[in-house]
Chain A
Amino acid sequence: MAAQTRTRFSPAGLRMAALMLFIALYTAYSAGPFVWVASMSLRTTSEIAANPYALPWPLHFDKFASAWLDSNYDTYFFNSVVIVLSAVALLTVIGGMAAHCFARYTFRFKGLLYFLIFSTIIFPPQVTVIGLFQIMVEYGLYNNRLGLVLVYVSIQLPVTIYILEAFFARIPKDLFEAARMDGYSEWAIFWKISLPVALPAISTTVILNTILLWNEFLYAVVLITEDDKRTLPLGVLRFLGDQLEDVGMIATGLMIAIVPVVLIYVFFSERLIQGMTAGAVK
């Protein structure tokens, strides 16, 4: 009888059950809003108005087609891809080079420079965005995709340098010296040794920056007002009128914006975690 009691209410089993319950609740809590928006994206606004939480039936897949074709989403998508890819490419190269220098060379004011670059992250974007707006107007970068790329590069640069520097610093210096003995210049060593050896860290920053910038809203909404230059997260503005909000289409627009990020995350999450926790190179 004692054995039976133990199998039914063993402390380990109870703990497991409690854990499962917690995980289930937490999943519902964090995924709930996403599932809700996803379900709304397949329903019309009048269906939603009638019952906000009902299951999507019938499924209005045509809403995606109409958002894409009639509401300029193809342009937004193109803008997002171009802007995010350019920003991420620039970030990787500039951030990589800066991190390479911080990790490998000693030079005057290195500590101060590092502090200055890194200290920019303590200012919330809401504070800097007003000043930034004026600067961008001044230099003709307002309503300009290049302007947004530059802003994206500068806001993500500190954390990119930080992640890469930590990794570069763990690459044994013998490796660079061996390459020097093999006849390579510092420039060639950066491309042929630093970058490839740091690939796990590089892919971490690439994925991180892609996701963050793809979803970026604040700078985009302040610095871009022309419809043809908007990025995907701004696409929903189309469905926000003065009097009317097309909730159903907003949900559809959001889903179009989110799906690529979800896909990136699903395919690369393992790599992302790997890069963040990668050990030193042997």
Chain B
Amino acid sequence: MAIVKLDQLGKTYGKVVAVSDVNMTIGDGEFMVLLGPSGCGKSTTLRMIAGLENITEGELSIDGQRMNAVPAKNRDIAMVFQSYALYPHMSVRDNLGFGLKRRQTDKAVVRKRVDEVAASIGLTEYLDRKPHALSGGQRQRVALGRAIVRDPKVFLFDEPLSNLDAALRVSTRAELVRLHRELKATMIYVTHDQVEAMTMGDRVCIMNNGKVAQIGSPMEVYLNPASTFVASFLGNPPMNLVPATTGEGVVESGSGRIAQNGFQPGRKLVLGLRPEDLCPTDKVEDAVVSGRVTSLESLGAETLVHIDTGGTKPVILRGGRNIPAQLDQTLHLTCDPAMARYFDAETGVAIIPGEQQ
């Protein structure tokens, strides 16, 4: 059990800045997800916490103790690697017990603990096999078990599910959540998959270009993205971002408008509309955007309607299975003003109407 604190953490490789100014405190027993596109510095951040990468700026502390200079082997942190990194020359039993043996010399205790953990994650019958004789899913569980056996202060995961097939990924996701609830351990989980982030994290830290873009609960970051980057990274399809100008009590999107008080007229900004918050309407005067339907994608449970509003990107509407829309038809879409989001046209930072900035 541990509180992990990252204070202005940064990493440079020569002149390349991989990570900079990362600030966050991961609470005791919290499941924190680091989410972001490939190359944004998630693994580097995780590896600095692990001690596998030295910290070039800032401070890392666990339970108030500075960790920058503590070698990985003394941090009492377990890590599950994307490649699993099972020791190929050892049986599953030895793989599971390897870390514990280092600290616990009583063989009987190690044996008992390994048996216990193997039983809890369904590995009992494979204990005598070597890793090469296991399936991908079983290997993944051994990697997981190896971390659990040690009962470490902190668990780190670096995209542990990305080598599994889709069905296994879903069930393992659920198992990890169950595990976290049982162990009540502090876990830090790196992924580029937003579904994993949304379903597993107590909080999500979204990273971009080596910096933290936003930290919050999954719903918080989904509903109130702090920037256009977060808005366009989360959601599938992501939030529609429409260039807009403010008027008297309204925001003009070019093909429609939405009622909104609190803005100085004549300001350029970006209007953000989640596809599921848009709704077709007959009343042209209510439309926040209007345009011609350019494509319809039926996904079974729902339909994605692409609408050309004259902008560079089509606006996408997520509707029900039976949405009354046809190709080439002109559609007017309305949106609850409470659900509309605004971003600065230049910086992309979220703006809240009424607050001066």
Contact = CB atoms under 8 A, between A and B. Distances in A.
Interface of A: 172, 174-175, 177-185, 193, 196-197, 199, 281-282
22 contacts: A172-B83, A172-B85, A174-B81, A174-B83, A175-B85, A175-B88, A177-B52, A177-B79, A177-B81, A178-B146, A179-B98, A180-B73, A181-B50, A181-B99, A182-B98, A182-B146, A183-B73, A183-B102, A185-B73, A196-B89, A197-B88, A282-B131
Contacts of A182: 73, 98-99, 102, 146, 150
A163 to B, nearest CB: 19
B155 to A, nearest CB: 11
Contact of B73 (A184, A193, A199, A282): A184
A183 B99 contact: yes
A181 B81 CA distance: 11
Contacts of A181: 50, 52, 72-73, 77-79, 99
Contacts of B87: 175, 178-179, 193, 197
Interface string B67-92: 00001111001110101011111000
A185 B79 CA distance: 16
A282 B88 contact: yes
B321 interface: no
Given A178-B81, A184-B73, 5 more contacts: A177-B50, A179-B98, A181-B50, A181-B52, A181-B99
A180 B52 contact: yes
B256 to A, nearest CB: 53
Contacts of B132: 282
The contact size tier of chain B is 20 to 34
Contacts of A281: 88
A190 to B, nearest CB: 14
Which one of A178, A180, A199 has the greatest number of beta carbons of chain B within 10 Å?
Answer: A178
Contacts of B85: 172, 174-175, 177-178
B15 interface: no
B88 A180 contact: no
A104 to B, nearest CB: 13
Which one of A172, A177, A185 has the greatest number of beta carbons of chain B within 10 Å?
Answer: A177
A197 B52 CA distance: 21
In the A-B complex, the 10 residue pairs with the closest CB atoms: A182-B99, A174-B85, A183-B102, A178-B85, A196-B89, A180-B72, A183-B73, A181-B79, A174-B81, A174-B83
A263 to B, nearest CB: 27
Chain A binding site: helix, strand, loop or mixed by DSSP?
helix
B283 interface: no
Contacts, number: 59
A257 B50 CA distance: 55
Contacts of B83: 172, 174
A177 B51 CA distance: 10
A185 B85 CA distance: 17
A185 B86 CA distance: 18
A193 B74 CA distance: 19
B131 to A, nearest CB: 8
A213 B99 CA distance: 40
A180 B70 CA distance: 12
A180 B83 CA distance: 16
A182 B80 CA distance: 11
B85 to A, nearest CB: 4
A14 B74 CA distance: 70
Nearest to B89: A196
Nearest to A173: B85
Nearest to B102: A183
A181 B50 CA distance: 7
A145 B50 CA distance: 49
A199 B89 CA distance: 9
A185 B72 CA distance: 9
A196 B81 CA distance: 21
A273 to B, nearest CB: 20
A178 B79 contact: yes
Nearest to A174: B85
A75 B210 CA distance: 69
A22 B157 CA distance: 60
Contacts of A282: 88, 131-132
Which one of B51, B87, B99, B132 has the greatest number of beta carbons of chain A within 10 Å?
Answer: B87
A182 to B, nearest CB: 3
A260 to B, nearest CB: 29
Which one of A172, A175, A181, A184 has the greatest number of beta carbons of chain B within 10 Å?
Answer: A181
Interface string B274-315: 000000000000000000000000000000000000000000
Interface string B95-112: 000110011000000000
A178 B71 CA distance: 13
Nearest to B50: A181
Contacts of B77: 181
Contacts of A180: 51-52, 71-73
A177 B53 CA distance: 10
A42 to B, nearest CB: 46
Contacts of B50: 177, 181
A248 to B, nearest CB: 50
Nearest to B81: A174
Contacts of A196: 89
A136 to B, nearest CB: 40
Contacts of A178: 79, 81, 85-87, 146
Contacts of B146: 178, 182
A175 B72 CA distance: 14
B102 A184 contact: yes
B82 to A, nearest CB: 8
Which one of A180, A183, A193, A282 has the greatest number of beta carbons of chain B within 10 Å?
Answer: A183
A137 to B, nearest CB: 45
A175 B81 CA distance: 9
A27 B98 CA distance: 50
Nearest to B139: A282
